[in-house]
Structure 1
Amino acid sequence: MSEKFSTVEQHASYGVGRQMGEQLKANSFEGIDIAAVQAGLADAFDGKDSAVSMQDMQIAFTEISQRLQKAQEEAAAAASAEGEAFLADNAKRDGVFTTESGLQYEIITEGNGAKPTYNDTVRTHYHGTFINGDVFDSSVVRDQPAEFPVSGVIAGWTEALQLMPAGSKWKLYVPQHLAYGERGAGASIPPYSALVFEVELLDIL
């Protein structure tokens, strides 16, 4: 690498290309042609006429956008169905309670403290996973309890916390409509994901 790109200008130029490539990879589509990307970049930089007409580019952009939207809808439908099937089976297990909203919980440890209200702030330890067991967030792993208002979290948490006496540790099974729903949460939680949390209510602040 150092022999191919040896000057400061080459290093900076490669860095620009690397950053553009990382951004493109994060927002790519199936069948992308890197050689065509490089040709378009070079032609634009050199001020050359476009090798593809604006009309053809617009048609292509529209078709690719429709493909991406269809793929996202199919993935969302699959995630929703998978979550519903998981929760339906989970509800049959001994020790799992289901509320009217569809929230499911399992009592690991029952505390004897007060129950938080909607307007309270709490300190908790939690471990969040997808239904396949993959971890997406965990204060336990960070070894740092989290503090937040009861009203400032996902609906499933807001409901559960108000049922939990301080000192309790529950396992929550949260349907997508009580979690992040059709929006998901950034790149970490896809739309329509059912989520599982172990939540320990340490204190009401």
Structure 2
Amino acid sequence: MTSAALPEVSGSFGEKPTLTFPAGAAPADLQVVVLSRGDGELVEAGDEIEVHYLGQSWNGSVFDNSYDRGSSISFPIGVGSVIAGWDEGLVGQQVGSRVLLSIPSHLGYGDRGVPQAGIKGGDTLVFVVDVVGTSS
């Protein structure tokens, strides 16, 4: 069985990425691809992680990104304060890495979605995340 193709990502660490989606359905499971590996500290569960990110629905529109705002965000990781796909996909990454996450709805916003953000129930979410820093 072949795994579903993932979107191509243009741009490098710190730059707003652009996603090009393949034909076909989104993967059914969480996909985590390190696009470029950093050489900083490892992110551990319970750390405060600082990231830049772009989020887009599979074959849909961008629903959020920090690049246009010009500031990164920080939040606790691996402790259930963000969607499960982020907790599972970002713990263990190195600071300075750019990571592509394809997050099925059961690890994202489920059947209810986030209508005000343009995320429909059942949507697969794709994020490009630049891990800027971590602190415990």
TM bucket, shorter chain? 0.7 to 0.9
Hey, what does 2:104 align to over in structure 1? 175
Q: Find 1:164's aligned residue among 71, 85, 93.
A: 93
Question: How far apart in 2 are the matches of 1:192 and 1:159?
Answer: 19
- 1:107 is displaced (CA, Å) by 1.8
Q: CA deviation digits over 1:9-62, x for unaligned, max 9?
A: xxxxxxxxxxxxxxxxxxxxxxxxxxxxxxxxxxxxxxxxxxxxxxxxxxxxxx
Q: Which has the higher contact order (CA 8 A, sep 6+)?
A: 2
Higher helix share: 1
Q: Partner amino acid for 1:198?
A: V
The residue type equivalent to 1:181 in the other structure is: G
Q: TM-score, normalization: structure 2?
A: 0.74
CA contact under 8 A between 1:115 and 1:161: conserved in structure 2?
no
Q: Which amino acid aligns with 2:112?
A: R
Q: What letter matches 1:199 in structure 2?
A: V
- Contact 2:113–2:121 (CA<8 Å) still a contact in 1? yes
Structure 1 unmatched runs, 5+: 1-87, 94-100
Equivalent residue runs for 1:117-196 within 5 Å: 117-150=44-77, 151=79, 152-188=81-117, 189-196=119-126
* Structure with greater Cα Rg: 1
Structure-2 separation of matches of 1:147 and 1:186: 24
Q: Does 1:202 align with 2:132?
A: yes
Deviation of residue 195 (structure 1)?
0.5
User: How far apart are 1:139 and its partner, in Å?
Assistant: 0.4
Give the alignment's Cα RMSD to 1 decimal.
Answer: 1.9
Deviations 1:129-161, CA, capped at 9 Å, x for gaps: 011141000001211101111121100000111
Partner AA of 2:109 in structure 1: Y
> What TM-score do you get using the length of structure 1 for normalisation?
0.50
